[in-house]
């Protein structure tokens, strides 16, 4: 078959096909979302293998700060470690807090310092308050006029309403607490009208507390208690409100979570459940829980930390222990994808 000028169409068709093949690699197609996965970071220096430490992100120093905890030999520490997005480093502290595990730590936006309270040394419960200054990378003990009772494993958070460091619950000398305390810069106040207020989460320790900026509140879930009535979801926006999700995790304890901006959700990994540690990843949508399906996950664990590292833009988990195997972890993992 010929064209009007007598030339065959086949050479022209061949040129069109060749041109299409040439430009195909440069065409723009909508790429799918990066699969959700946990990846172990290869850091220049590792976090020490331990559990039960307190950790939070410090916006002043732009580092993740971790204090204390205990190791496989049962040694309880009072050292301070920081993570700069690539490596862990132990700080030299002039006057460190005493050794402890299970303390609460949260950033206070009003005084621009981390506030740490309580914890335990062996069977002794503590009720002292310490402030970490990211500008000097040093601890200073505070001497408030009023202080909460001794407690271990309370649930700390930065109050999204007023920016103060708050904490809920914890285990005292004998009983679990349902009180909410607020650090107001120089002193502690009881943020709930009464420690026995009805509209408050049930007494517990070792639960999950995550600041959820997408919904301008704090998520609280799980923990351990005298009666194990802790498989319930609450939020705090200046007052506590119980939520009614259709799906939620089993009763998790000794785990933590953090808000993951990529998903616009609070993310919770692992934790203990009836004496067995888990490796599931859950997300809170603001009204319901969703079990995520990352391609890879860290080993199951409890008593570790989950922190959003704003400086490096990474959602981290690090440290902890597996209750069944007795293994203590010194690894650091990061969540990526959608």
pLDDT digits (tens, 9 = 90+) for 131-146: 999 999 999 999 999 9
Among residues 56, 100, 108, the alpha carbon closest in space to that of 78 is found at 100
Looking at CATH, the fold of the domain delimited by 30-336 is given as Neuraminidase (2.120.10)
Please report the pLDDT score of residue 197 as a whole number: 59
Residue 64 has pLDDT above 90, yes or no: yes
Kindly report whether the global pTM for this prediction surpasses the value 0.85.
Answer: yes
Q: Quick one: average pLDDT of 216-227?
A: 95
Average pLDDT over residues 246-266: 96
Look at 9-23, 48-62, 122-136, 168-182 and tell me which has the smallest mean pLDDT. Answer: 9-23
β-strands 314-318, 332-336: how paired? antiparallel
* pLDDT of res. 32: 62
Least confident of 59-68, 69-78, 182-191, 192-201: 192-201
Q: What's the rounded mean pLDDT across residues 283-305?
A: 98
Percent of the chain's residues with pLDDT above 70: 89
What value does the mean pLDDT take over residues 295-319? 98
Give the pLDDT confidence score for residue 229 in this predicted structure.
82
């Amino acid at each position: 078959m010929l064209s009007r000028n007598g030339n065959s169409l086949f050479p022209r068709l061949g040129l069109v096909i060749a041109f299409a093949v040439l430009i195909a690699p440069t065409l723009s197609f909508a790429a799918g979302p990066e699969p959700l996965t946990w990846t172990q970071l290869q850091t220049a220096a590792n976090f020490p293998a331990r559990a039960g430490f307190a950790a939070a992100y410090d916006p002043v120093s732009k580092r993740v700060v971790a204090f204390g905890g205990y190791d496989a030999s049962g040694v309880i520490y009072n050292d301070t470690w920081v993570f700069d997005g690539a490596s862990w480093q132990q700080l030299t502290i002039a006057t460190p807090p005493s050794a402890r595990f299970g303390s609460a730590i949260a950033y206070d936006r009003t005084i621009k310092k981390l506030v740490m309270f309580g914890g335990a040394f062996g069977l002794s419960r503590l009720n002292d308050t310490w402030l970490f200054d990211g500008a000097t990378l040093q601890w200073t003990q505070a001497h408030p006029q009023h202080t909460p009772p001794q407690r271990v494993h309370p649930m700390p958070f930065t109050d999204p309403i007023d920016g103060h460091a708050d904490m809920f619950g914890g285990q005292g000398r004998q009983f679990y607490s349902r009180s909410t305390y607020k650090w107001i810069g120089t002193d502690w106040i009881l943020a709930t009208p009464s420690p026995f207020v009805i509209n408050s989460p049930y007494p517990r320790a070792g639960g999950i507390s995550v600041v959820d900026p997408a919904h301008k509140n704090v998520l609280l879930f799980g923990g351990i208690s005298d009666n194990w009535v802790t498989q319930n979801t609450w939020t705090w926006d200046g007052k506590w409100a119980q939520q009614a999700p259709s799906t939620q995790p089993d009763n998790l304890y000794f785990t933590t979570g953090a808000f993951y901006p990529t998903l616009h959700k609070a993310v919770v990994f692992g934790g203990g459940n009836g004496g067995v540690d888990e490796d599931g990843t859950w997300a809170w949508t603001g009204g319901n829980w969703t079990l995520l399906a990352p391609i890879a996950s860290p080993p199951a664990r409890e008593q570790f930390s989950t922190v959003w590292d704003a400086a490096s833009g990474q959602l981290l988990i690090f440290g902890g222990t597996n209750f069944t195997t007795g293994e203590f972890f010194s690894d650091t993992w990061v969540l990526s994808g959608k």
